[in-house]
Amino acid sequence: MLWLLAVSLGVGVLIGAVSVGGILLIPALNLLGGLVIQKAMATALFTFIFTGAAGTWLFARRGSVDWKVAVPVCLGAAPFGFIGAWANSRFNAPALSLILSSVIAFAGIYTLWGHNSARQAPFAQQPKMRQALLAGIGVVAGFGSGLTGVGGPALSVPIMVLFGFPPLVAIGSSQVLQILASVSGTVGNLQYGSIDLRLAAIVTVFEILGVIAGVRLAHAVNARSLRQLVGVLCVVVGAGLTARALAAW
């Protein structure tokens, strides 16, 4: 239990700092908490409702949530978390997870070794096209969240950074997304799976403590360092998801 709580604290730090890192909680719940992998995924996703709420409040207090970006992403993600959870119970989840993990890893590699100079996000002068793009990112992130249990930001942050959105904007928006995608996926899990509420309650407390520290870290480093941190975490998460998908296959 002590090791599980330590991992939960670390996961919270990563969620607060870069919104990516929820993948680490799933194997911890599986290996240290004794949950089967499907229940570990569902339980982890449930805890992300509360880490998302804490992160959103802390980022909003610092004026780091761009609501014009966050709202369309969330609108796209909200219904697709449930669909992702349904797909997990009906289709070849490892195959779909492998596709999603490849997207995350590619985005991380591009972030690290691609065009590192700052560039403007697309459709800056075309609000409707920009909103459509953000909604599409939300659809992918919400579906991936319900399917894999890693939380929407694991997909939304690398994709948004890939498209040229500033890292802090991507992270702040993804804190809001995390709430809706996790709620949507959890509703699906309650219908098609199961959640260990007792273990989730304990883990969530330590995750939130980590989120508080992580948000401070995100605002203490410069944009380039934050971008590199996002890239490294995306490569690690993508590799981890790939390994898990291949093992399940």
Q: How many domains are contained in the chain?
A: 1
CA distances from 239 to 54, 95, 234, 236 (A): 28, 14, 8, 5
| Positive or negative torsion for Cα 111, 182, 142, 121 | negative
Please, which residues have CB within 8 angstroms of residue 220's CB and are 6 or more apart in sequence?
A: none
pTM greater than the 0.85 cutoff: no
User: For 65-103, how does the pLDDT look when each residue is reduced to its tens digit (9 = 90+)?
Assistant: 999 899 999 888 878 877 877 776 676 667 766 776 776
* DSSP letter string, 72-102: HHHHHHHHHHHHHHHHHHHS-HHHHHHHHHH
> Helix H segments across 19-61?
25-31, 37-61
Residue of higher predicted confidence among 204 and 162: 204
Mean pLDDT of 174-201: 83
Mean pLDDT of 199-219: 93
Q: What pLDDT shows up at residue 49?
A: 92
Q: What pLDDT shows up at residue 55?
A: 92
Average pLDDT for the chain: 82
Report the alpha-carbon angle 165-101-220, nearest 5: 40
- Say yes or no to pLDDT of 249 above 90: no
Mean pLDDT of 195-199: 91
User: For 219-244, how does the pLDDT look when each residue is reduced to its tens digit (9 = 90+)?
Assistant: 888 767 777 777 787 788 778 778 87
- Say yes or no to pLDDT of 166 above 60: yes
Structural domain of residue 217, as residue ranges? 2-248
Residue of higher predicted confidence among 188 and 17: 17
* DSSP letter string, 108-121: HHHHHHS--S--PP
